[in-house]
Amino acid sequence: MKDERDTLPFVLKTIAAEGESRLRGLDQLADIIEIAYALFQDSVLIDEIGDPFVRLLEQKSVYENFNRTLIETIIAECRFYAKVDFNGAFITVESKGVENSLKDLEVIWLVVEGIRKDSTKKDADIITVPREVKIRMLAQLSAILQYFLATSISLIARVRVRQLEEKLKQTSEEKKREFLLRYKTELLKKDHGIKKVHEALIKVIDLELDLIRNLNQIVPPLVSAQIEDVEVNSALPVSADKDFLYELSIFHFPFKAIIEKDKHLLTALKEQFAHLKSKPKLHWYFNQFISDQEWEENCTRTQGLSKTDSKEIIAANFIPTSDTERRAEEIIREFDGMIAKNAVDPKYFGRFLRDTLMVKILSSIDEKISELKQYVFHDANIDNYKPYAKASAKAILSELNKLELPVLKQSILQKLLSLSIETDLGLAIQFFGEHKNDHGEITKRFKILKVLADEYFAEAMEDLNRVAIMQGSHWFLKSQCSTGLKGNWM
């Protein structure tokens, strides 16, 4: 990887180290978007798939916010507004999310460059990258691009709003209303530019006009919002059903897709969830002041209040950039204070899927599967594979045996019997990057290791099917299986 790293774009060489933070300006965001944009259209990734933007045309709502014209417009505006300063200071963003996304972008860049360099070799030495891996890389690039586009839009909006604030300071009191109305009219008439930036400006203008109209005086724009005093009557915690649906919508865990497709598995998970001890839960308190829709519309992942999904709120250090985020910061600070004083009202208690036994077991299984896949990268001596395969398979099956859900066991065993490292995007940097010269050898090693491990997985599947036949086909539809199955796979 040395040659590829030597030619890394400069901005990818500035990724913050663990625990370090960096200030990023619009000029750097423009560089980042250009790199991701180029990779998203790189022939190395799309040669078998075709133009990814053409494929998006069928998804109108997605294409409207993710197309070449918009991306190129944002790059141009980043370059333009990067030159704007306020008394020598520039608007910047500082976020772990930015640095983490940059690391992901670096990995993809290195892999693509490695594949490109490898393609110049003789046919016999060329590494074939599975189509599925390319599709996953494109999906990840799409997410990275959209993340940095949202970050840039947020930063451009902050610059434009700050410019508006500065202009208002220079405008006489009697002319401010006229100025704001004219400014708003010009924005509404424009059919080019970044729509979300215009919307942010119009929102600020409307706020100013409301203040003028209602208070008959001008106050500084974007005054820090104060959380209104709300009379809160003690109540029972939110229902387990509502809490479960919320958690399911925002929390990712291994093998989630299997569970979501089977109502019996969902019911079993829901039962475990319902029996959890409730704890203070920020979402239900936060939701009293800021709705899910309002949060989704006003927040981007660029700020310290980041979202693993559109509705999940995670507190972190950040510089609030909007009225909504200022309110959010106050809400979170107040909730933390209530927790410290053990004074959280029971109505703001909830449960967490990560605390259920099923999710804990599934996470443990997933970790052990990852360890099995990684082994071939670290040990080239196949003489060690038989004892390792046995130990690893038994460790996985030991965890699997803790699940009292036959359908789930069967589905996971099927996945185990079809394990692959070539289509695992998490291993792409190793498989197509650091170890690309050992591609054939590593593939061979994994096949050997998998055959040895499959012996135990296949035996477990046979035992599972045998019990199913003995107890009747309806056995698979029960939420719990016979405890007699435990211990039979060792």
Domain ranges of the chain: 2-162, 171-215, 240-353, 357-485
pLDDT of residue 341 exceeding 50, the answer is yes
What does the DSSP 8-state code read for residue 66? S
Most confident stretch, 21-35, 208-222, 305-319, 437-451: 21-35
pLDDT of residue 480 exceeding 60, the answer is no
Q: At 264, which helix (H) or strand (E)? A: helix 263-274
Beta bridge partners of 280: 349
Looking at residues 7-18, what average pLDDT do you find? 87
Which residue matches tokens 């009379």? Answer: 231
pLDDT at 192: 66
How far is Cα 255 from Cα 266, in angstroms, rounded to an integer? 12
In contact, 240 and 277? CB cutoff 8 Å? no
pLDDT of residue 317 exceeding 90, the answer is no
How far is Cα 435 from Cα 78, in angstroms, rounded to an integer? 37
pLDDT at 434: 52
Instruction: Please give the C-alpha separations between residue 138 and each of 91, 332, 423, in angstroms, as whole numbers.
Output: 31, 36, 13
pLDDT of residue 463 exceeding 50, the answer is yes
Range in 6-10, 224-228, 415-419 with the lowest mean pLDDT: 224-228
pLDDT at 290: 80
Helix (H, G, I), strand (E, B) or coil at 185: helix
Average model confidence (pLDDT) across the chain:
78
How far is Cα 233 from Cα 446, in angstroms, rounded to an integer? 60
Helix (H, G, I), strand (E, B) or coil at 166: helix
Enter the pTM of the model: 0.51
How far is Cα 486 from Cα 398, in angstroms, rounded to an integer? 9
Q: Which residue has the higher pLDDT, 111 or 325?
A: 111
Residue 373's pLDDT band (cuts 50, 70, 90): confident
Residue 184's pLDDT band (cuts 50, 70, 90): confident
Q: Which residue has the higher pLDDT, 483 or 58?
A: 58
How far is Cα 4 from Cα 2, in angstroms, rounded to an integer? 6
pLDDT at 398: 93
